[in-house]
Amino acid sequence: MDVTELRSLAPFDDTTPRGIAGDLARLVNSGELAGGARLPTVRELASELGVSPATVSQAWQALARAGLIESRGRAGSFVRRGAAEGPATRMRGMAAPDDPVRLDLSRGTPDPLLLPPLGAAISRISARADVGSYQDEPVLPALAAVLRRSWPSDAEALVVVDGALDAISRTLDQVVRFGDRVVVEHPGFPPFLDLLDLLGAEAVPVAIDEHGMSPDGLAAALRRRPSAVLLQPRAQNPTGASMTPERVEALARVIRSAEGVDDLVVIEDDHSGLISTEGDVTLGTHLPGRVVHVRSFAKSHGPDLRIAAVGGPRDLVGRIMARRMLGPGWTSRLLQSILLDLLTDGAAIDAVAEARRAYYTRQRALGDALRSRGVPVAHADGINLWMPVLSERSTLVQLAAAGIRVAGGTPFLAASAGGAVVAGARRGPEGEFVRVTVGVVREDAASVADALASAARHLAAGGY
């Protein structure tokens, strides 16, 4: 397609990078620009619109991050086939095949045998179930009271939504605009990066160590004037790193002293809160009015409950709920009643405490076994650990042959989308990793460690 044809399809009234990218995105999503269509060169379109090539280049980069176009080097830039379906490339990369294996350590999900049983809770609430009405409070008052008593800081407003990813997505929708920058952990949770791509935002990766995000890396990232910081305070996925109070205070100090980020919002995903063995921390203690804290109950009480609590500034949480009322409206009060019962019933509380102890024991057992076999895994919290390997692909193949599946590390790398890491990452010998869901290794950690260590050291002659 030449530049004249493209100009006939789009007005390009707004010739900022955001405006140009927005017009192109609408053409792709509507099908007017078909998959495989070749786009004009940056210089051709810049000349036609009377803007600098850098302006069009920024628009092209945003469209590429959103998965709508792709560059083929000297051949030019093209509309991606299937682009209108959305990218979610990293999340798709995490999906496990359907073929059965002896031991699946790839999913990042809790051990179902360690979840509190729901039968008793369902029986108890069924006797007092209330149909409710559209006008009822979106959060059960009794549940809100229980959540507030355990919240790590004073939140102006607190609501529940349909899981942690729903909470993160709705918060990003309110604070991130097309072209904004968002600070993320490197490595980090792949769906976060896919969400930023869909929003047309740029991820600014900051490396983490055993205590979470690097303060020096965050300071460097803040010089790029991001609109948000997205992090996991405990049991970070994939590394299992948890922040100390000292690290939280250091990060808050960096944010307070940074220039040009007065409207910056910190979004915290405490996805493993009640099974984490580390202390409950939040930057909200030091940055009141600037932090949205999300606590999920999926890993502690069951993924299918689909409930996460969101606490933060009243105006921001209010906007999230106002928008939500035009969609699902509220999280099922029946499910809220089940969660409330589980959070207050003695047997359920004991079951979660036992799960927390079991995960800690499994982490120590497999981590110690790997370290004794020469695999330098860091001490981790929660249900996952991040294992350095000589070759990611070779490791996956070797383990599959042994009947074990783990998650490849590539989807977790924020810099894999083309960005540069702000501070040095936690790296293995060749900088490649896999994520291992330790939480489902119920027994025989030694033999599992043997298989993992052997695969981690393997480098296939064929160059896997």
Confidence band for 218, pLDDT divided at 50, 70 and 90: very high
Query: Which residues make Cβ contacts (< 8 Å) with residue 72, sequence separation at least 6?
Result: 78
pLDDT at 287 over 60: yes
Query: For residue 98, what pLDDT is reported?
Result: 65
Q: What SS3 state is found at 351?
A: helix
Per the model's pLDDT, the better-predicted residue between 421 and 184 turns out to be 184
Query: For residue 293, what pLDDT is reported?
Result: 98
Average pLDDT estimate for 190-205: 90
Domain boundaries, given as residue ranges, for the chain: 3-85, 89-113+348-456, 118-346
Average pLDDT estimate for 44-55: 92
List the CATH code of the domain at 3-85: 1.10.10.10
Least confident of 16-20, 101-105, 135-139, 283-287: 135-139
Element of type H or E holding 212:
strand 212-213
Query: For residue 197, what pLDDT is reported?
Result: 85
Calculate the average pLDDT of the chain: 89
Confidence band for 177, pLDDT divided at 50, 70 and 90: confident
Query: For residue 97, what pLDDT is reported?
Result: 65
pLDDT digits (tens, 9 = 90+) for 341-378: 999 999 999 999 999 999 999 999 999 999 999 999 99
pLDDT at 129 over 70: no
Per the model's pLDDT, the better-predicted residue between 88 and 221 turns out to be 221
Query: For residue 426, what pLDDT is reported?
Result: 42
Neighbouring C-beta atoms of residue 280, cutoff 10 Å = 17
Confidence band for 392, pLDDT divided at 50, 70 and 90: very high
pLDDT at 84 over 60: no
**Residue 234 near residue 382 (C-beta atoms within 8 A):** yes
According to CATH, the topology of domain 89-113+348-456 is Aspartate Aminotransferase, domain 1 (3.90.1150)
pLDDT at 417 over 60: no
Nearest to 45 by CA among 16, 4, 77, 74: 4
Query: Which residues make Cβ contacts (< 8 Å) with residue 406, sequence separation at least 6?
Result: 105, 106, 387, 395, 396, 399, 434, 435, 436, 437, 452
Between the ranges 29-33, 69-73, 263-267, where is the mean pLDDT highest? 263-267
Please, what is the Cα angle at 147 between 141 and 152, to 5 degrees? Answer: 145
pLDDT at 434 over 70: yes
Give CA–CA dist 461/206, Å, rounded: 34
pLDDT at 85 over 50: yes
Average pLDDT estimate for 154-163: 95
Query: Hey, what amino acid is at 280?
Result: D
Query: Which residues make Cβ contacts (< 8 Å) with residue 149, sequence separation at least 6?
Result: none
Give CA–CA dist 193/88, Å, rounded: 8
Average pLDDT estimate for 36-60: 91
Average pLDDT estimate for 138-153: 95
Handedness of CA 393, 398, 403, 404 (dihedral sign): negative
Contacts 24+ apart (CB under 8 A), 40-44: 40/1, 40/2, 40/3, 40/6, 41/76, 41/77, 44/2, 44/3
pLDDT at 152 over 60: yes
Element of type H or E holding 369:
helix 346-372
Q: What is the DSSP letter of 118?
A: S
**Residue 157 near residue 313 (C-beta atoms within 8 A):** yes
pLDDT at 94 over 80: no
Query: For residue 331, what pLDDT is reported?
Result: 93
Least confident of 11-25, 46-60, 95-109, 368-382: 95-109
Query: For residue 130, what pLDDT is reported?
Result: 61
pLDDT at 91 over 80: no
Residue corresponding to tokens 């650990």: 385
**Residue 44 near residue 38 (C-beta atoms within 8 A):** no
List the CATH code of the domain at 118-346: 3.40.640.10
Give CA–CA dist 121/220, Å, rounded: 49
Confidence band for 199, pLDDT divided at 50, 70 and 90: confident
Query: For residue 422, what pLDDT is reported?
Result: 47
Query: For residue 65, what pLDDT is reported?
Result: 74
Please, what is the Cα angle at 175 between 174 and 181, to 5 degrees? Answer: 140
Are 3-85 and 89-113+348-456 the same fold in CATH?
Answer: no
Query: For residue 427, what pLDDT is reported?
Result: 41
Percent of the chain with pLDDT over 90: 69
Phi and psi of 207, rounded to 5°?
-70, 155
**Residue 186 near residue 414 (C-beta atoms within 8 A):** yes
**Residue 366 near residue 385 (C-beta atoms within 8 A):** yes
pLDDT digits (tens, 9 = 90+) for 162-172: 999 999 999 99
Give CA–CA dist 28/86, Å, rounded: 11
